Chain A
Amino acid sequence: DVKVTQSSRYLVKRTGEKVFLECVQDMDHENMFWYRQDPGLGLRLIYFSYDVKMKEKGDIPEGYSVSREKKERFSLILESASTNQTSMYLCASSLGQGDTDTQYFGPGTRLTVL
């Protein structure tokens, strides 16, 4: 079974803090993704990575950066947290080869910025 884990289920931070969200997958997947999910807006893509050290901006990258130094680990960084970044953050990974490219999600991190 594919397993995607995220470092924290719940996180509370203060405005201006630097925040790190960690994601690890154990299936040697090429692609990894960060989404945020907000009521009424659905899941929106922040960044994704298709290889170690490679990344591409998604639909809402402002205020975020990412790091992928090892294939299994993908980090999302909030450089200076703001209250409008309070959200559910979801990490996903996919094999990235062949016709099928199903994404598998982690349990999510509920981030509150005060």
Chain B
Amino acid sequence: EDQVTQSPEALRLQEGESSSLNCSYTVSGLRGLFWYRQDPGKGPEFLFTLYSAGEEKEKERLKATLTKKESFLHITAPKPEDSATYLCAVQDWAGRRALTFGSGTRLQVQP
């Protein structure tokens, strides 16, 4: 059974204070690891897909990295508009098409 654990549950940063969010996963055969951003009361918005250990992807102030056991979402010099819940999810090759999600990290960036 696939499992995803995200930490911390909540993170409060000052504007410009860089940090990282962690996503630890257990999966039989990784097809893809996904990062989403979710604003309150809205659906998740796709950010990145990572496929193999060592892969990195960037988008503005966000950078996602992947190892065989975990993924990190690095936030560089965050702004208040980066405040959201960040969700990590995995998909395996075992035939299950759906994603297994972690509980998310709630990020608050204060001006």
Binding site for B on A (CB under 8 A): 4, 31, 33, 40-43, 45, 48, 50, 58, 90, 94, 96, 99-108, 110
Contact = CB atoms under 8 A, between A and B. Distances in A.
B43 A106 contact: yes
12 contacts: A33-B98, A42-B102, A42-B103, A43-B87, A43-B89, A43-B99, A43-B101, A102-B49, A103-B99, A105-B43, A108-B43, A110-B41
B98 A40 contact: no
Contact of B34 (A58, A96, A102): A102
Interface of B: 31-32, 34, 36, 41-46, 49, 51, 87, 89, 91, 97-99, 101-104
B32 A100 contact: yes
A41 B32 CA distance: 22
Given A108-B43, A110-B41, A42 B104 contact: yes
